Amino acid sequence: MNSIARVASARIPLLAALLAVLASLPGLALAQAGPPGGGAPGPREVGVLTLKRQSVPVTVTLPGRAVAYHQTAIRPQVGGEITEIAYQPGQPVTTGQVLFRLDDDQLAATLSAAEAAVTSAEAAVQGAQATVNRYDRLQGTGVSRAELESAQVALANAQAALAAARAERDMAQLSVDRAKIRSPIDGVADLATVSVGDLVTASQSDALTTVTQLDPIYVDVSESRARFLRNVARQNEGALSRPPDIDARLILETGQVYGGGGRIVTPGIAVSSTTGTVPFRLEFPNPDRLILPGQFVRVQLTVGTVEGVLVPQRATSRSATGVLTAFVARDGKADEVELTEAGTHENAWIVTEGVREGDQVLLDGLTNMTDGTAITTVPVTIDAEGIVRTEAEAQAANAAAAGETQTEAADAAPAESPTETAAASEAPTGSDQPAGTAATPEPTTAPAAAPTQADPAPTPRPAAN
């Protein structure tokens, strides 16, 4: 015990010396002493943005997938051997263009036999008709009524046989025509699944190729039924003004906004039992074939306009219960308010309740901000990328951007030829040399470049008088 006491007593002076050194440090002394005068901390400097009320479009962004406007699988209607593939894969084809040719020798022979049968049937009809005409004249003078009726029946049979022969001929002709497999629509033909020399059969299950029409193109999306009903309720209350036509814009995978606008083709008529969404289809022009079937895209729909205040999302926070809040500068203090939002526009919330036009929302300096904190405000702005700047910084950035634009324009302008500029500046006043003609230069004492084998030595030129 005595040894422990001696060690403790030896450490006490060391601790006292260490505390004295720490107390002598300026920062620690200021932290212990608090603010000058012993009062409360001074107000915090924060950046504020003055809010404005305006009419804002309400947009909904939905994921979608592109679907071909028309897509046809090409199959043979007659059998035979493929003798030619008459199109280029990936190239546009038109309606009626020949894609494949089949060997039609057997079909042509069948057509010739059918045509011969038609000729024979026509002759039979002519003979039967002549018999009926003769019996009709001789009736009562050697030809009985029964014989005349028998001749008329024979004529009807001959006419029926002629009609059947003509039908067979037409079927044979159709088979010959179908030996040339044509495209039924305008579109782009895919790769052929067969080669020259392959045998195909009529109405086989395997397609020879596929023709797809890409302009225009469909996009299928699904919208939440609950959100649709909320928008309808807002329209009935007058809070949402619906345009006569819903504006639809397409956003590609790269984020690029597609130029052509779309229209709704088929509104949904059934709600999915698993997702609670309603599928519907839109149509977009696609002349450059930027959108292909199966491509995933996003569709931005403008469902109406609403009167509200735009509050930057940077200035807001959402609690665990889902309440959206922001700080507003009032009477030199930060006042936390609850916001009622009606959607988003670019990088801001469309707020209908909680703030009003002219309020100053805190946009910068929000770290560890609490309700009632004393503040001093500095006006700031926020750009589309979410960068906050003071008014002076924003003006400097705009001036720098304008300077860069002018520099690019100056770089793009054609520069004057140095020779023409020097000649124009060195031309003597009052000389009878035509304007724009360079004067004869005086020889200088600067050494000329040494001639090479490719360039002959220059001929000396006498100086002008």
Please calculate the CA angle 266-271-277 and round it to the nearest 5 degrees: 85
Contact 65, 219 (CB under 8 A): yes
**Side-chain-side CA neighbours of residue 170 (13 Å):** 6
For residue 29, which phi and psi values (nearest 5 degrees)? -65, -35
**Side-chain-side CA neighbours of residue 178 (13 Å):** 20
Same domain membership, residue 84 and residue 194? yes
For residue 141, which phi and psi values (nearest 5 degrees)? -125, 40
In terms of DSSP H, where are the helices of 47-99? none
Residue type, 200: V
Looking at residue 53, its pLDDT comes to 86
Domain-located, residue 13:
no
Contact residues for 282 (Cβ-Cβ < 8 A; gap 6+) = 64, 218, 219, 220, 221, 248, 262, 263, 264, 265, 299
In angstroms, rounded to a whole number, what is the distance separating the alpha carbons of residues 322 and 335? 19
Same domain membership, residue 187 and residue 202? yes
Same domain membership, residue 376 and residue 352? yes
CATH of the domain at 385: 2.40.420.20
For residue 377, which phi and psi values (nearest 5 degrees)? -105, 145
- DSSP result, 288-320: T--S-TT-EEEEEEEEEEEEEEEEEGGGEEE-T
Looking at residue 434, its pLDDT comes to 41
In angstroms, rounded to a whole number, what is the distance separating the alpha carbons of residues 227 and 362? 31
Same domain membership, residue 119 and residue 97? no
Residue type, 313: Q
In the structure encoding, which two tokens stand for residue 137, read together? Answer: 């004249």
Contact 293, 212 (CB under 8 A): yes
pLDDT digit string (tens) for the chain, length 465 residues: 445 445 445 555 555 555 555 545 444 433 344 454 445 567 888 888 899 888 888 788 889 999 999 999 999 999 999 999 999 999 999 999 999 999 989 999 999 999 999 999 999 999 999 998 888 888 777 778 888 888 889 999 999 999 999 999 999 999 999 999 999 999 999 999 999 999 999 989 999 999 999 999 999 998 888 888 887 887 787 777 777 777 888 998 888 888 878 888 888 788 888 888 888 899 999 988 889 999 999 998 888 888 888 899 888 998 888 899 999 998 888 899 999 887 777 788 888 888 888 889 998 888 888 888 888 888 888 877 778 877 677 667 667 766 665 665 555 555 444 444 444 444 444 444 444 444 444 444 444 444 444 444 444 444 433
Same domain membership, residue 272 and residue 237? yes
Looking at residue 426, its pLDDT comes to 43
Looking at residue 267, its pLDDT comes to 80
Domain termination residue (choose one: 288, 306, 324): 306
The label of the residue with tokens 């020889």 reads 443
Domain termination residue (choose one: 392, 415, 432): 392
Q: Find the domain containing 348 and state its range.
A: 48-52+307-392
Q: What is the value of pTM for the model shown? A: 0.60
Whole-angstrom distance between the N-terminal and C-terminal Cα of the chain? 120
Same domain membership, residue 202 and residue 81? yes
Same domain membership, residue 193 and residue 172? no
Looking at residue 226, its pLDDT comes to 86
**Residue in 223, 297, 226, 304 with CA at minimum distance from that of residue 267:** 223
Residues facing residue 296 across a β-bridge:
65
CATH of the domain at 237: 2.40.30.170
Please calculate the CA angle 449-451-455 and round it to the nearest 5 degrees: 120
In angstroms, rounded to a whole number, what is the distance separating the alpha carbons of residues 214 and 289? 7
Specify the number of domains making up the chain. Answer: 4
Same domain membership, residue 165 and residue 130? yes
Same domain membership, residue 194 and residue 94? yes
Same domain membership, residue 191 and residue 108? no
In angstroms, rounded to a whole number, what is the distance separating the alpha carbons of residues 336 and 319? 12
In angstroms, rounded to a whole number, what is the distance separating the alpha carbons of residues 6 and 291? 88
In angstroms, rounded to a whole number, what is the distance separating the alpha carbons of residues 192 and 350? 54
Residue type, 65: R
Domain-located, residue 35:
no
Residues facing residue 218 across a β-bridge:
67, 283
In the structure encoding, which two tokens stand for residue 171, read together? Answer: 């079927």
Cα–Cα distance list, 329 to 309, 333, 359 (Å): 16, 6, 7
Query: Given its phi and psi angles, is residue 354 left (phi above 0), alpha (psi -120 to 50 degrees) or beta?
Result: left
